[in-house]
Structure 1
Amino acid sequence: MPSSELARALRRELRGDVRFDTAERAVYGYDASNYRHPPLGVVKPADTDDVRAAVRLCREYGVPLVPRGAGTSIGGQAIGPGAVVLDFRRHVNRVLTVDPDARTATVEPGAVLDHLQRAAAPYGLRFGPDPSTHSRCTLGGMIGNDACGSHTIAWGRTADNLRALDLLLADGTELTVTGPRSPAERAALRELPGREGELHRALQDLTAAHLGTLRQGMPDLPRRTSGYDLDALLPERGYDLARALTGTEGSCAVLLGATVRLVEAPAATALVVAGYPDETAAADAVPALLPLRPLTAEGMAADLIAALLAAGRRPPALDRLPDGACWLFLETGGATPAEALAAARELADAVRREPRATVTVVTDPAEQRQLWAVREAGAGIVTRLPGGGEAWPGWEDSAVPVERLGDYLRELRALLGRHRLRGIPYGHFGEGCIHLRLDFPLTEPQRLPEFREFMKQAADLVVAHGGSLSGEHGDGQARGELLSRMYPPEIIDLFRRFKRIWDPAGLLNPGTVVDPRPLDADLRFPGRDLLPLALPYERDGGSLLTAVHRCVGVGKCVDTSSGVMCPSYLVTEEERHSTRGRARLLAEMLRGELVTDGWRSPEVREALDLCLGCKGCASDCPVQVDMATYRSEFLHQHYRRRLRPASHYSMGWLPLTLRLAFPRRLLNRLFRSPAAALLKRIGGIDPRRELPPLATETFERWFRHRTAAPGGREVLLWPDTFTNHLDPAPARAAVELLEQLGYTVRLPDGPVCCGLTWHSTGQLDVARRVLLRSLAALPPALPILGLDPSCTATLREELPRLLGEAAGDVPGRVHTLAEFLDREGVELPRLDGVRAITQTHCHQHAVLGTAADRLLDQRTGLDNQVLAPGCCGLAGNFGFERGHFEVSAALAERDLLPAIRSADETTVLLADGFSCRTQISQLGGGRRAVHLAELLRDALREQRG
């Protein structure tokens, strides 16, 4: 059956999106696992009626289906070869009701966990399980995997928190299953007419015929999520169908909705951090602490912190960690902060009974959030070992009885040593569950037998300790093949029979749990670099392929509550416009099977067209996927020796154009005349954009003709293109401020440019030549002050990448104004009583940081509302290019423009980035933003009379 026939049928009957194109198949061919399975197509149903129609049509055409939430499954269960993927997250995603009296909520399968938590919070309630992907994981995905999280010891797994599941079977049958039933209710279910009664009779008869097998063959431990939970069907457990179907990974039924149990959220929390010599000592200590009923008992070793620091980030809260090489995070709760603190102190006293333990209690909510953020980022952080090596899932979340955890870890370490494997263990020590990514040789086909042998031995080890292959993330392809090492043949046969009862035709997620695919097949890693590359990829051994494989699919970039990455995804909510989706497309381009045009790929070009180059991913992605850099490489290669888009010439060559732009007053009149429409059309500029006026006097000309004040130590001011030619006010203010503070300001000895506009449009050879000429104009030794964050970030980060050793010491001499003033410790004017709103430039957030700016706020007394990190939407040339205006304006409407509209006229709008100030001036209702230099200069003038 041609896929086009099914696609046409789906488009005829569904109101939602039906995508069978190459790009969609490429980005949905991956989840957060080691595997790749391009689907036949993707359906994003508009509602449950669309789901019903899609299931019916796939049944008629004999095409398998794979239900999918956020696509963060680590075992490979959210992808399927030749299947239609049902993406519930886009539309079927509502929290329908919250009943505070019954403490329940009803949700659609695509509802994101954090959305449910926000809906329940006004009633003092929450959903108990909280995996680290809570900002993007869906309730449907949590039910499919029986997700857990750090608070499971207090509130249980997903299976413990369900009231009812509304199901659609592959044959079209709909039914609702609930938790435990009485004997009379079970008997009544058998008598139901049609397929539903037939199903209940088959399940009850299957259970009754194998009572002994089910009672003896299923390990009894809190974190058993491998296989099907068939012992939930036992009479003594009330024939709990909701529990039995939780964790079946979409292989038995399609979820249409769920009623979930809510628990009371503590009004206040405290965090006890206990330090131990190593992870085995921490594991050994846990059983004695659990009787005090902490809400969490999470383990995190020093090598996780080392991996975090190797990525260049150090949350200040890490200073609160007590001495040790492994830490337990033990959270306590209470109705008041005092009550939570009292419970924490009791727990801390218990920790101190172990002579080798150290302990600290953290009560500040901000510090607690920072520490938990490190733990939650673990799945991404540990994909790169401190030495730079790659680590992969596979043996990801094994679980043993908590009293066996220390012994299991010791033997697991020994097994890793025999196989010469390295990894960073962390996880849910309170329930014996360990997360561990290892440097498996998955990119070397000749060494895959070593991977297989380790997995078999690791499975045997965890079974020997009475444990489960998976304690949270499910089996999928990663561990499905190993289930026969955990369960006897009779149980494996019952799994097959259980699935056949629900899905006789085998249409739902085939090859998952039952009849699994080999664990070392279908790996996502094959590919090759298309050489030569223009950029060095210094953190990835010079390989774009290795850089792209940084993306492990944990999906922080599809968290729509964050404004940082990826900005265009926040508007379109298209997977191909997420950082993850773009990385998948680049991986397919380098693989050359699905995306076959290499650097000429239109699919990759389209996906990268809406990349703003904000570099938010480089800082906020847990594994620092730097899509802005990959985009520059792709554009460089894609348009090599080819005609480029008009905007690459009009805005890519802007530094040269502006230097030649005379007479300026005449040009400004032209920009405001009807001829401007023609200029914008020729230049590839959106007609709704205003052309920024040229400064009638450049900053450099003003600087040469002014009367310089006598000063002391010299500092070099970088006259970037935007400041020099379009908005000289910040540079003039910086000169006057620095001279009033006693410095002598110098400019470079000739024209300079950071090359940003050429770099962002992929004209990398030109950017190199421009930078080389600029370096020749720089005097040695002087500190270099950059006023525009994008240019400053380019000098600090892209300069050494483009020029290597030729960059010399320049990147280390480059500072923002705030960094320089903070380092110098000069006396600054007071800004008491001044209110400001600050829009942080993307590149400052991602590359330069804002710590110095916030210190200046404190030193000056500025009442500063710093908007949440997020792009203003202009992003250099992006917001001016034809076809980008809607995305640009929508991004400005997320935080920036509402904040401006709500501010009174006396509130200062602060924006160091020329792009940010331009966006405000064009879309902000006539308001003007100023640079920090202008604010400080004016305050100093007023202070000194």
Structure 2
Amino acid sequence: MNRDYNRALLRRRLSAALGEQAAFDAGTRALYATDASNYRQVPDAVVVPRTVEDVLATIDVCHDLRVPLVPRGGGTSVAGNALGGGVLLDTSRHLNRVLSIDPDRKIARVQPGVVLDELRDAAAAYGLTFGPDPSTHSRCTLGGMIGNNACGSHSVFWGRTSDNVHELDIALADGTRMRLGRHPREELARLARQPGRPGEVFTALRTFSSRHLEFIRRRFSTFPRQISGYALEQLLPENGFHAARALVGSEGTCATVLEATVALVEAPKARSLLVLGYRDAVHAAEAVPYLLPHRPLTIEGLDHQLVQALLTRRSRLPVALPEGQAWLLVEIGGDTARQSLDRARELAATVEGETGATASRVVADPMEQRAFWRIREEGAGIATRMADGSEAWPGWEDAAVPPQNLSGYLRDFQALLARHGLRGVVYGHFGEGCLHVRSDFDLLTRQGAEHFRAFIEQAAELVVAHGGSLSGEHGDGRARSELLALMYGEQGVRAFGEFKAIWDPDDLMNPGVLVRPRPLDENLRFLSQPAALRGRTEPATVFSYPHDNGSFAQALRRCVGVGKCRSHSGGVMCPSYRATREEKHSTRGRAHLLAEMLSGEVVTGGWRSVEVRDALDLCLSCKGCKSDCPTNVDIATYKAEFLHHHYAGRLRPASHYSMGFLPLWARLATLAPGLVNAVGRSRLLSGAVKAAGGIARERDLPGFARQNFLRWWRGRPTRPHADRPPVLLWPDTFNTYLTPEVARDATEVLEHAGFRVVLPQRSVCCGLTWISTGQLGVARRVLRRTLRTLAGPLAEGMHVIGLEPSCTAVFRSDAVELLSKDDPLLAVARQLAERTRTLAEFLTEQAPDWAPPPMHRTSIAQPHCHQHAVMGFSADERLLAAAGLDNRTLDAGCCGLAGNFGFERGHYEVSRAIGEQALLPQVRAADPDTLVLADGFSCRVQIAQGSGRRALHLAQVLREALRGQG
């Protein structure tokens, strides 16, 4: 739906009114061209307002020039609700405050961009929470929830967003401000007599509701998850003529929300989880009507395909599921832990037999409950790849039926999938009859798109036949608006048009959604772009992308926009976004820009793109996204690939030569470490070195050891007798030349455990620093030399022990991907990946009978990001416990230094801001006697330079325990 307006004038007007808050550059427009749906449309401008006045100024310009305006929250819509070709209004970055909480009245006033978890955290101080809780609660905004009438897992108990909205402060498309709420008859009459637009709106709403009264009563709110279309039932007299709630679920098509007053509810003091196993999802659905009368907080469903898809990403499940091929997660609340646990056990005993459950488990431990919920909440990401690796997409994403009809609908829906030769990963809100499905549609070809359309049309007819709703919580958007006539008939469609015209007579607000909808197969994300992103013309790459059929385009399609990278706490991903809150610094933003680069429509520079280069500049290459992203997007690898091509045949940044070649400079420095360190301590000389090397002037240069590890090794006396097999200790650059005490202590610990420690026969390197700076040709040559060196020890069955997590992760992951599939050393790389272990992994696996003397100390541990992403930290925790340490593993995210990133010029402020979010304050707050553990060299440097505390490697802690014994 094209609009004819003056784009040059739009740019001038918005720039004059808003300055840098309005963006028109290719990079920003490309960032906002997609969300979490199958759709894509490039906006003409993106506005990120700082104040309500900025919002009103934007509305004023759009109204004057007749430019479409689309409000947008976290951009996690799976229906394409918040895309548009005019102006996108992103309130999430600045208009994101909880304005007030009234615990007595149990209400909160919020701005539209506030993230749900931040509202819940603020309310938790009063024992309250916001009831609706979609799985995107760590990044979805209240404005987006209001736009879609979001529900979440606990709507069984606390209702939808519309049930929890008291008032809305809105702006119409012409700039008129109105405050809406529940309006009794007398008040409504008074409001209708107001002069100007407010009076016109209320007068028109009274007339509208009277004219359609019987139709609304008959066709709307027939069951709780009837979300499709406008919430016209809220205008009924028996519902108090609630104009605010009538706009909940209007998807930005009627007005812009400036502020909302919402209800808070008392959070249960304790919760227990009942997990019921069933033969299949249909049998699980049949059990729902038996469970609902017991008033659970929620009933959520999973099936075996989601679990199998998760197992392709992990070696094992984080929880033990009871026997079955489908499961219901039934949450029970209580005033005490004992009460909720007893209720859950009673329910299990009551329903297991009568609902046909194959087995059950009652979970009391909050951490284990959290692990179950994580599987469910990450379903939208997990399900985008089937167990066999094939791609799956939303489309028929969240239809709902009355719960008593769920089993019949699900059975018929599975038959429909089979007739179309499709597979669907099913999960969702079984307690309210709402299913989420990701299906293996072919959205890369026109023929596939035609098949997609045919299936969606038949699925819509099916859900209507079962008395259901096209949408059960995500809204209709571009995915389902065209189908509303099937559900409501022509009378309903006409009523929707009348309702929108009351608020937005010029059709400026999110046009093409709900009213006069765009076709559901128009602007499909991949078909709207050139062939490169569909993998039809693959760019030549260095990495082999073995998990994506060797396709860089397919690797980029992993990002479906679920936006977990936009969360503000917990996990590792995405540290730079948490520091800047800018979309281009999120994992999702970078993946989308790389995809747009392949497309070449908006971002036209290809591998030379400055837009992509600038977005990747603040990527720490922490690899947090490789594990924390539900779809395992690996921006660190994509960044290295991009930098390799971007600087091919060109002069690189100085830091690529200084820190990228660190292994070489470290070896040279050992010729005169005292002189090198004296230069580093000299203010004048170190300043010159930093300037020449592209190093941040705020950073202290690390010192080189006077006796490096290799010299210590060569000068050792005769090795002690070993009872166990030999093991190869990897002499990484950091623990060889900068902190050799770590490698020395690791050697002595391994020997105390009975192993004979050996080193490689010649100088070697994993290539990490060249990988992280995108010098992949050098990295591959270095790696291949190392593989030739290690081939013999590996053939003899030796394990390789890595002390620096980032180097260890290269062997466990990057090395295989850096070699081509026909490289003769690929088999050696795979063998190296299988036999490389961290110190903790090796000791717990190969010497389970060995334990250091107990230390009886407290400790806090900062896992390195690469270890978090590739190896995990559980073995370290077990070994620390065996060492008698009362350890707390920090959930502080990335330290902020991340190898060369925090040392590079221009990165210091972001690096320090990331460290100050959680890590450094927790280290400073720790008792002076508490040990601080960090295996990563960069983590230890950040802790030392940011807190003054000395952090220890695990090897140093274990050696200290042995010394204490002596």
In the superposition, the TM-score normalised over structure 2's length comes to 0.95
| 1:616 maps onto 2:624 in alignment | yes
2:424 alignment partner, SS class: coil
Q: Partners in 2 of 1:777 and 1:659 — Cα distance?
A: 19
Q: 5+ unaligned residues in a row in structure 2: which ranges?
A: 820-825
| 1:890 maps onto 2:913 in alignment | yes
CA contact (8 A) 1:274 1:351 kept: no
Cα offset, 1:828, TM superposition = 2.0
| 1:550 maps onto 2:558 in alignment | yes
1:876 alignment partner, SS class: coil
Q: Partners in 1 of 2:679 and 2:233 — Cα distance?
A: 79
Matches within 5 A, 1:57-68: 57-68=61-72
Q: Partners in 1 of 2:20 and 2:666 — Cα distance?
A: 47
Question: 1:120: which partner in 2?
Answer: 123
RMSD, aligned α-carbons: 1.5
Q: 1:355 to 1:329 in 2, by over 3 A?
A: closer
My pick for the range that moved more, 47-56 or 705-714, is 705-714
| 1:682 maps onto 2:692 in alignment | yes
Matches within 5 A, 1:136-215: 136-179=139-182, 181-215=183-217
1:928 alignment partner, SS class: coil
Q: Partners in 2 of 1:504 and 1:593 — Cα distance?
A: 33
Count of aligned residue pairs for this structure pair: 939
| 1:695 maps onto 2:698 in alignment | no
Matches within 5 A, 1:763-912: 763-778=775-790, 779-780=793-794, 781-803=797-819, 804-823=826-845, 824-912=847-935
Matches within 5 A, 1:187-336: 187-218=189-220, 220-312=222-314, 314-316=316-318, 318-319=319-320, 321-336=321-336
User: Structure 1, residues 641-693: CA drift from partner, whole Å, max 9, x if none?
Assistant: 21111111111111122223322222222222222211111111111122211
Question: 2:612: which partner in 1?
Answer: 604
Q: 1:708 to 1:898 in 2, by over 3 A?
A: farther
My pick for the range that moved more, 933-942 or 421-430, is 933-942
Cα offset, 1:417, TM superposition = 0.3
Q: Partners in 2 of 1:384 and 1:599 — Cα distance?
A: 27
My pick for the range that moved more, 860-869 or 282-291, is 860-869
Cα offset, 1:212, TM superposition = 2.8
Question: 1:575: which partner in 2?
Answer: 583
| 1:390 maps onto 2:387 in alignment | no
| 1:742 maps onto 2:754 in alignment | yes
Question: 1:593: which partner in 2?
Answer: 601
Cα offset, 1:165, TM superposition = 1.0
| 1:711 maps onto 2:721 in alignment | yes
CA contact (8 A) 1:419 1:454 kept: yes
CA contact (8 A) 1:15 1:46 kept: no
| 1:481 maps onto 2:474 in alignment | no
Q: Partners in 2 of 1:58 and 1:274 — Cα distance?
A: 53
Cα offset, 1:563, TM superposition = 5.0
Cα offset, 1:911, TM superposition = 1.2
Q: Partners in 2 of 1:291 and 1:889 — Cα distance?
A: 53
Cα offset, 1:698, TM superposition = 1.7
Q: What amino acid maps onto 1:108 in structure 2?
A: Q
Q: Partners in 2 of 1:612 and 1:900 — Cα distance?
A: 21
Q: Partners in 2 of 1:313 and 1:489 — Cα distance?
A: 52
| 1:47 maps onto 2:59 in alignment | no
Q: What amino acid maps onto 1:276 in structure 2?
A: Y
Cα offset, 1:355, TM superposition = 6.5
Q: 1:342 to 1:939 in 2, by over 3 A?
A: closer
Q: Partners in 1 of 2:447 and 2:125 — Cα distance?
A: 56
Q: Partners in 2 of 1:408 and 1:39 — Cα distance?
A: 38
Q: What amino acid maps onto 2:566 in structure 1?
A: V
Question: 2:548: which partner in 1?
Answer: 540
User: Structure 1, residues 453-489: CA drift from partner, whole Å, max 9, x if none?
Assistant: 1011000001111111000000000111111111110
Cα offset, 1:312, TM superposition = 1.4
User: Structure 1, residues 189-236: CA drift from partner, whole Å, max 9, x if none?
Assistant: 322222111111111112222223323343611101111111322233
Q: What amino acid maps onto 2:131 in structure 1?
A: G
CA contact (8 A) 1:845 1:869 kept: no
My pick for the range that moved more, 341-350 or 817-826, is 341-350
Q: Partners in 2 of 1:23 and 1:431 — Cα distance?
A: 41
Cα offset, 1:68, TM superposition = 0.8
My pick for the range that moved more, 857-866 or 2-11, is 2-11
Q: Partners in 2 of 1:236 and 1:742 — Cα distance?
A: 79
Q: Partners in 2 of 1:244 and 1:730 — Cα distance?
A: 64
Q: What amino acid maps onto 1:381 in structure 2?
A: I
Question: 2:653: which partner in 1?
Answer: 645
Question: 2:352: which partner in 1?
Answer: 352
Q: Partners in 2 of 1:908 and 1:215 — Cα distance?
A: 66
Q: What amino acid maps onto 1:802 in structure 2?
A: L
Cα offset, 1:115, TM superposition = 1.2
Q: Partners in 2 of 1:371 and 1:585 — Cα distance?
A: 33
Cα offset, 1:155, TM superposition = 0.8
Cα offset, 1:806, TM superposition = 4.2
Question: 1:663: which partner in 2?
Answer: 672
Question: 1:633: which partner in 2?
Answer: 641
1:328 alignment partner, SS class: strand
Question: 2:36: which partner in 1?
Answer: 32
2:438 alignment partner, SS class: coil
My pick for the range that moved more, 423-432 or 518-527, is 518-527
Q: Partners in 2 of 1:209 and 1:838 — Cα distance?
A: 66
CA contact (8 A) 1:535 1:633 kept: yes
Matches within 5 A, 1:387-466: 387-466=388-467
Cα offset, 1:924, TM superposition = 2.5
Q: 1:107 to 1:96 in 2, by over 3 A?
A: same
CA contact (8 A) 2:79 2:478 kept: yes
Hey, which bits of structure 1, 4+ residues long, moved more than 4 A?
A: none
Q: Partners in 2 of 1:869 and 1:419 — Cα distance?
A: 47
Q: 1:208 to 1:353 in 2, by over 3 A?
A: same
Q: Partners in 2 of 1:92 and 1:480 — Cα distance?
A: 29
* One of 668, 672, 677 as aligned partner of 2:681: 672
CA contact (8 A) 1:751 1:777 kept: no
* One of 102, 110, 113 as aligned partner of 2:113: 110
1:809 alignment partner, SS class: helix
Q: Partners in 2 of 1:185 and 1:2 — Cα distance?
A: 42
CA contact (8 A) 1:105 1:259 kept: yes
My pick for the range that moved more, 432-441 or 344-353, is 344-353
Cα offset, 1:586, TM superposition = 0.5
Cα offset, 1:869, TM superposition = 4.4
User: Structure 1, residues 285-322: CA drift from partner, whole Å, max 9, x if none?
Assistant: 11121111111011111111111111116443x21x22
* One of 89, 100, 105 as aligned partner of 2:103: 100
Question: 1:515: which partner in 2?
Answer: 516
Matches within 5 A, 1:124-135: 124-135=127-138
Q: What amino acid maps onto 2:764 in structure 1?
A: V
Cα offset, 1:774, TM superposition = 1.1
User: Structure 1, residues 771-820: CA drift from partner, whole Å, max 9, x if none?
Assistant: 11112222232111111000011111111112333425111111111111
